[in-house]
Structure 1
């Protein structure tokens, strides 16, 4: 049977949406294999009949690993769009885990009737089996973008949760910037997380997209990284670049936890963050917060950056710390500002200290900086 996924990929090449890329083509093959496996894996009686079999083994999923901008999400989304005949779900991994924690909380806080209404009939107080049953009933195929594990609460439940999901016949496709062996690296009690890594490598084929070309970088190079808020055309260009970088993603929002505090960012998707100067620098954030932001997002769109002076010295100090954190993390920064970097804090008490930040902002908009990411 002809591959719908292969046909969709080749159609994108023909219409100019993408260009031929040997690394992408190589990574497409395991997804085509999975497409075939899923198509061949629906015996008479359906999935329930399969699960009643002894020694049933669901098709092996795919875990796409590679640097930013190589096309991992493109391939996964094409696979998801062309996969038919069963329930499926595609989301960012952090969104999924947020839902899992809310389901676990609902189970623990619910009385018997509330649990039955939401989860069906389950015995005992362990929340993992009913949560896994509910998720498996909603989707046989789970596609996750930006698979990463940095939170101890996630790490401690992933093994049991996915063991139960895989036992239900759920198939996983995921993109990540980290190899399975590097997930939750140096995390607290990581030894308890290691069985999940082995389970993941068993249940999903690890496929590397290691092409030299960064397509996300092409967009930044073409559009530039510094826009003037005084020019309506530039404002429109800043908005257009955000939409282009976002692609088909929804702005699901993101919550970053820092030392027990939660920072909410409503305009975020995967590794992309769009935030205002006021939201990042007019509130009492500190170095730990900015380091966490830089670690969580590979590209930050910063808008509403004003000209400053001594009256804004506290906000300017926070901006200095933010830029230092982004600079050290090699984060891409796209700015909508009222002035050029050297003119943001031109005179008065504090202007001398700001000169290094102005220099870093100038460097971070350069093509050499983008190339070095």
Structure 2
């Protein structure tokens, strides 16, 4: 039975939304204004981080980052309380010693939680702190231009970069050059990173390799290793099995603000929307319902899906699906390749969102 027929059979008045019907435009000023921790990390703090008692490095990370945040107090040369997006900030005196910290660890050890906690703990107004993924930062440079981005961020006290991408040498050089300019203006840095293509092993990225890739910036970062297993599945039940197409469709029609899309069609639609707009693609959604989940056909499509999974996870949007389970989205070849860490992160996050969606069927 088709999705439409199932929907009609449900005889429910509400009509779900569709991701495939959305092609959002995101202006540059929104890109700047949204450089704050995503909704999932609005309320996280160092004292809400639950370290694994078997991993001393997690406890140490909280202590080191708390001290780092305290060290960022005081006045800033560009003036407190004013966001000078499009003005040239005077060059302050840069304190001696590392002005950055790099959180080194596998997926699911809480690096983003700690990075967002650092942002919240830094004693500065939100307008003087920025938080975003590497992709969001490169999108900002694309929207404003390099020099304007330097001027926009140079008055900040802290810039947090989650998931620093090292897959594209050109983007790595671009962002490294940007960060070097920001360090000259006294901006403190904090980052996590993804793995390089061809880097296999235990699902973590070596700090030495990260520092080598950013070359001249290495002296500004203190590596902080965080060991542990994926907290999203630590002591939790297995992810729910996919539901029937009928159950997913009924839940979509019964849930105000939910979207309903055929998974293959959604993958096709993602190719028409720039990844910088995937956050806007999910605006005002309460749930994402997908029918006919099938294996991702190629690597370009897979990488786009990774970005969408990140945005859904950031915004705590549950995902209800029929078809294959999420741990079968990516082929064995993909899971053994250079982007394996991204794919495992996507599986981890989609699994967590699938667990969140159980209530949509059980309500």
* 289 and 45 in structure 1: CA distance in 2 versus 1, 3 angstrom threshold: closer
Residue 159 of structure 1 and its aligned partner are, at CA, apart by 3.0
What is the TM-score with the length of structure 1 in the denominator?
A: 0.52
Deviations along 1:18-58, one digit per CA (max 9) or x if unpaired, are: 3654332111122122123212x5489968999454x7547
| Cα gap change, 1:52 to 1:61, in 2 (>3 Å) | closer
Q: Which has the higher helix share?
A: 1
Contact (CA 8 Å) 2:138, 2:175: kept in 1 or not? Answer: no
Paired residues, what number?
252
Counterpart CA distance in 2 for 1:218 and 1:228 is 27
Q: CA deviation at 1:90?
A: 1.5
TM-score, normalised relative to structure 2: 0.53
The corresponding residue for 1:162 is 179
Q: Using the alignment, how far apart are the partners of 1:42 and 1:92 within structure 2?
A: 26
**Are the aligned partners of 2:293 and 2:321 in contact in 1 as well (CA < 8 Å)?**
no
Work out the CA distance in 2 between the residues paired with 1:44 and 1:135. 13
Residues 1:169 and 1:275: Cα distance change in structure 2 (over 3 Å): farther
The equivalent position to 1:199 in structure 2, one of 216, 223, 232, is: 216
Change in Cα spacing, 1:175 to 1:218, as seen in structure 2 (3 Å) is same
Structure 2 vs 1, CA of residues 43 and 91 (structure 1 numbering), >3 Å: closer, same or farther? Answer: closer
Match among 109, 117, 138 for residue 70 of structure 1:
109
Aligned ranges 1:76-95 → 2 under 5 Å: 76-86=115-125, 87-95=128-136
Q: Decide whether the 8 Å contact of 2:243 with 2:322 is kept in 1.
A: no
Q: What does 1:107-118 correspond to in 2, within 5 Å? A: none
| Deviation larger for 83-92 or 326-335 | 326-335
User: Computing the radius of gyration over CA atoms, which structure comes out larger, 1 or 2?
Assistant: 1
Q: Which runs of 5+ in 1 are unaligned?
A: 1-6, 105-127, 184-192, 240-253, 308-319, 337-373
Aligned mates of 2:76, 2:247 — CA distance in 1: 61
Whole-angstrom distance in 1 between the partners of 2:240 and 2:184 = 48
Identify the structure with bigger relative contact order (alpha carbons < 8 Å, sequence gap 6+): 2
- The equivalent of 1:30 in structure 2 is 64
Residues 201 and 220 of structure 1, relative CA distance in 2, 3 Å threshold = farther
Q: Quick check: 1:179 aligned with 2:216?
A: no
Of residues 281, 285, 289 in structure 1, which corresponds to 2:300? 289
Number of the residue aligned with 2:143: 102
1:314 is matched with which residue? none
- Cα separation, partners in 2 of 1:175 and 1:156, compared to 1, 3 Å: closer
Residue 224 of structure 1 corresponds to: 240
> Which whole-Å CA distance do the structure 2 matches of 1:56 and 1:19 have between them?
31
Instruction: Provide closer, same or farther for how the CA distance between residues 287 and 56 of structure 1 changes in structure 2, counting only shifts above 3 A.
Output: closer
| CA displacement at 1:200 relative to structure 2 | 3.1
Is the partner of 2:164 in helix, strand or coil? coil
SS in 2 for 1:226: coil
Secondary structure of 1:224's partner?
coil
1:197 positional shift: 1.7
| 8 Å CA contact 1:90, 1:143 repeated in 2 | yes
1:103-142 CA deviation, whole Å, 9 max, x = no partner? 12xxxxxxxxxxxxxxxxxxxxxxx4443122213x2211
In the TM superposition, residue 64 of structure 1 has moved relative to its aligned partner by 0.5
Whether contact under 8 Å (2:166, 2:193) holds in the other structure is no
Cα contact 2:98–2:219 (8 A) shared by 1: no
Q: Match of 2:234, SS?
A: helix
What secondary structure does 2:214 align onto? helix
Instruction: Provide the secondary structure at the position in 2 that maps to 1:84.
Output: coil
Measure, in 2, the Cα distance between the counterparts of 1:225 and 1:175: 32
Is 1:140 the counterpart of 2:174? The answer is no
**Partner Cα separation in structure 2 for residue 74 and residue 150 of structure 1:** 23
